[in-house]
Structure 1
Amino acid sequence: MSELRDRARQARAILEETIVDALDGQPGGFYNNELTRLLDLESDYEGRQSNYLTYSLLGGLLTDGRVKKEKRDGRTYYMKANEP
C-alpha cells in the first residue's frame, strides 16, 4: 500500500511542477479551463465537477504559496507566485 501512495505522491509532484512551469511562461496567468486544455488534463465527466483535477492541484499550490490567483473579467486567473 505504501508503494501506491509513493507513486501517487510522485505523480502529483510531477503534475504540480508542470502546472508551475506552464504558469511561469504565462505572466498574465491562465484560468482553469485554459490550463486543463493546455496540459491535456480535461476530464471526460459531463457533470458540474469537470476538470476538478487541476482545481485540486491548484488549491495545493495556492496553499503552498507557489501560485496566486486574481479575479478579472468574472474569471479567476492563476499565476505563478513571486519568488520570496
Structure 2
Amino acid sequence: MKYRDQAAAGLASIEEAILGLLAERPEGLINNEIARTLKLESDFAGRQKNYLTYSVLGGLLKRGLVKREKQDGKQPFKLAR
C-alpha cells in the first residue's frame, strides 16, 4: 500500500502542476509544451513521446478540469472554467 500511496501523491502533484501552469497560460498549451516546461519530457526513443503528461491530461479532461479547443491547427489544453 505504501507504493500506491506514493504514486497517488505523485499523480496529484503532477496534476496540480499542470493545472497551475494552465492557469498562468489562458491561451493554452499543447502536450509537448507542458512536458517541456515541467521538465517531464520522456527519454523514450520510440514514437510515444511525453506520454506521462498526455496520460495525466486525459484524466483531467475526463474529470472536466481541462478542455481542448482547435486553435491555429493545434488543439491546446486549457483550463475548463
TM-score (norm 2): 0.96
Shift of 1:70: 1.1
1:48 & 1:71 partners in 2: Cα distance?
Answer: 23
The count of corresponding residues between Structure 1 and Structure 2 is: 81
Residue 6 of structure 2 corresponds to which residue in structure 1?
A: 7
Residue 37 of structure 2 corresponds to which residue in structure 1?
A: 38
Gaps of 5+ in 1: none
What pairs with 1:1-84 in structure 2 (closer than 5 Å)? 2-82=1-81
Instruction: Report % sequence identity.
Output: 51
CA RMSD of aligned residues (A): 0.7
Q: Which ranges of 4 or more aligned residues in structure 1 deviate by more than 6 Å?
A: none
Query: Which deviates more from structure 2 when the two are superposed, residues 39-48 or residues 71-80?
Result: 71-80
1:74 & 1:5 partners in 2: Cα distance?
Answer: 39
Q: Return the structure number with greater strand share.
A: 1
2:72 & 2:54 partners in 1: Cα distance?
Answer: 19
